[in-house]
A and B are shown apart, each in its own frame.
Chain A
Amino acid sequence: MIPLSWYLILSAALVCIGVFGVISRRNAIAMLLGVELILNAVNINLLAFWRYKDVSSVTGQVFTIMVITAAAAEVAVGLAIFIAVYRNRRSIVAEDVAELKG
């Protein structure tokens, strides 16, 4: 059986890639993709701990399903915002949308 640490390393790597993507990409959709990577890394973490530590309860699976649901909702809202922004200014570069700066 593959040891638990491998899964953790995978998920850590996914988080890092996601964070990098979110921070470095100018395209808002790409930023959203990064966020999805982070969330999925969390899912892997949750399932791995469930599988290796506490198989009898269903907590890990439940949490994972919750995260997937939240991610789907987040993407729906996020994309709707981006479409609205794009219609107004023909751009989906996140830096351009900075009206709320102090």
Chain B
Amino acid sequence: MAAETLLWLIPLPPLAAFILITLVTNKNKTLSHGLAIAGAASSWVMSLIVFIQAITRPNLAENPISSSINWLPTGETALRIGVQLDNLSAVVLFFVAWTILMIFIYSVGYHNYGQPAGERDVPGLPPRGAEIKDAHGHTHRVPSVEPMYSRFFGFLSLFAFAMYLLVVCDNLLLLYTGWEIMGLCSYLLIGFWYGKDSAKKAAMKAFMTTRIGDVFMLLGIVFLYTQAGTLNYREIFGNAELMRTLTTTPAGFLGLSQAAGIGLLLFIGTVGKSAQFPLHVWLPDAMEGPTPVSAMIHAATMVSAGVYLAIRIFPLLTAGWEPGGALTPAMMVVGAVGAFTALFAATIAVAQNDIKRVLAFSTISQLGYMIAAIGIGAYTAAIFHLVTHAFFKALLFLGSGSVIHGMEHGVMHSGEHVDAQDMLNMGGLRKKMPVTFWTFLIGGLALSGFPIITAGFWSKDEILAGAYHGGQMAIFITLALAALLTAFYTMRQITLTFFGQPRTEAAAHAHETPWTMTVPLIVLSVFAISVGWSGIPEHFPLIGGLIPNWCETFTGAMLGHEGEAAAFSAVPLLVSIVVSLGGLTLGWLAYRKVKIAVDPLKQALGGLHTVLQRKYFVDEVYNFLFIRPAVWISEVFTSRWMDRVVIDGFLHAIARAFLWLGKIVRHGFDVPVVNAGGDALAAGIRKGGAALSPMQSGRVQQYMVVTITVVMVFSAILFAILKLV
């Protein structure tokens, strides 16, 4: 089949799976996950075929796989929709296909497929376990299957559809469509356990926060359409004339050019979706959802979509910038937001105890890395880190889900009331869950940028090198500090979770998870290492050049020149090795001897630790600045004053006026005139009838006498009149 046709088909199997699961197979768990995985797998196969065709196609950047049709006629022109696979979307499609398929398979085990239904389980709450009796008559508590199993796979499939759509589409409108469907799925899946108050609130928070970004993004799209008359990537970015006009025309606000204005508006969409400061608050709370959701939506794919958009609009953001020259205002904003977020989130992650929340802040921090890379013009580095991060962060999330799963097993066994997600309750899981441990270790080392062997090292190094060579010292130092903290909190997490002795009974009885969960971990851990090999710089000592730097050549072709990393310098390389190893060592030293469930950092940092643990009180500040005033306005102004006093008062006054008018009409007109008149008329007619009734004797001859008499009298009168006249 032609690559274009396959490209059209890629998003459709998950959509079909979603429709079928929702409408038909909702009752049958096996069929539902079968359909969902079959849909994801067929998309995966098609994606890989298309990917291979794309990378073997000569000159893909100028000649992408694309096809489009007229969709919505608007007056003389028409909005066109189409699919397109260029170098950027090919790379994104590759990791999206892999992570989605792995997470689908993982979800089967995560939701305890094949386990009995819990006797106290209700839809909308996580399963609480079931009692079973074994052959010896002993009762065991075992994990029970998720009550809304099919629904989960339905939503997941819809999400996969939207993500594929976003990657393969060739214009911003279709991208926005996929973007919003993903926002909806994110909302539905964060609030999957809607019986939990915290999950409900987190779902709303995520939806509302990303909405802020989306509104600005829509403004940007509209702005772009009014200026360019098209939303197709190639028609905009490939049109040198148009780009020059956009770069030189002022946008009319903040002294920006139109290109920068549109770019920044679209970038606010990225800030919302990729959880950058100041719209980062929703992502940590989104961990209320099931772990596969956290891995897929909130680590590997949806939040990556934000960065993908930022990379897409790279020509707009960098309009008027020469490689090596001073940064444009738009780039400075992007770089500052990214670098700040990277460090900011990394510091918070240090003080979190929930295993998933650490990863959530780590995700925010790493996305900040990519955004910072875009801000300094390190295009290929951003793409490279996007890909490697998707793999190792999905791996880490799935690993944390596996840990939680194993801990819950232990909690059921021991009957303790401990939080299965709190790392301080874990410890010593290395021996209990070996597969999870080794894969998590690989993911963690990749995240902290462990030199040479992990993918994270190469991508992070490239960003640091980009910042260094671009002369952006502030960004370079911020990112290096963030990398140090990243290595530190990653080691803290690994040490607390897997090393030492179990700190609770539950941790001592934790159990390795089923193969459906461990196989995806192994597959992803392979990628977490090997993806890095596609981007080893040619000038790297010893091993540079052994494998061609494929990633940079391939994605750099999008810019029309050969990437940006020209010179090699030992400084960023040494820095990235030092911060990585230094952070890991510090983390190991600080946490290897934790015996009781207290963080040693708490005493060392004192009040600062509380600040970090409470996430710099950003939630509290937002609560004070935005939520409380909004609630106050709706409660006091809108509800109590506007609604009840003004509108209700007005309505009541009208009602009273009409009541008064009604009374007057009733007593002044209706009762005396209409009623009495009607009664009088009826009485008169009755009286007249009574008076006249004797006339009707029933005797024919009498009638006749009367008739004849009358006729004669009238004839006589008539005759007399005629005679007289």
Contacts and interface: CB of A to CB of B under 8 A. Distances in A.
A94 interface: yes
A24 to B, nearest CB: 8
B701 A94 contact: yes
Interface stretch (B142-150, B267-275, B488-496, B689-697): B689-697
A102 B705 contact: no
B700 interface: yes
Contacts of A102: 692-698
Q: Categorize the interface residue count of chain A.
A: 10 to 19
A99 B698 contact: yes
A31 B700 contact: yes
Interface in A4-30: 19, 22-24
B696 A101 contact: yes
Nearest to B693: A102
B713 interface: no
A76 interface: no
A90 B701 CA distance: 20
A1 interface: no
Interface residues of B, number: 13
B567 interface: no
Contact of B705 (A23, A95, A97, A99): A23
Contacts of A31: 700-701
Interface in B691-723: 692-701, 704-705, 708
Q: Which of A24, A95, A97 has the most CB of B within 10 A?
A: A95
A94 B697 contact: no
Contacts, number: 34
B704 A95 contact: no
Contacts of A2: none
A102 B319 CA distance: 107
A100 interface: yes
Interface in A64-102: 94-95, 97-102
B686 to A, nearest CB: 13
Contacts of B699: 94-95, 98, 101
B696 A23 contact: no
Contacts of A99: 698
Contacts of B695: 102
A20 to B, nearest CB: 10
A31 B696 CA distance: 20
Contacts of A23: 701, 704-705, 708
A102 B695 CA distance: 7
Nearest to A34: B704
Contacts of B694: 102
B234 to A, nearest CB: 99
Contacts of A19: 708
A68 B231 CA distance: 98
Contacts of B705: 23
B706 to A, nearest CB: 11
Q: Which of B694, B696, B704 has the most CB of A within 10 A?
A: B704
A41 to B, nearest CB: 14
16 contacts: A19-B708, A23-B704, A23-B708, A94-B699, A94-B700, A97-B698, A98-B698, A99-B698, A100-B698, A101-B696, A101-B697, A101-B698, A101-B699, A102-B692, A102-B696, A102-B697
Shortest 8 CB-CB contacts between residues of A and residues of B: A98-B698, A101-B698, A102-B693, A102-B696, A100-B698, A101-B697, A94-B700, A23-B701
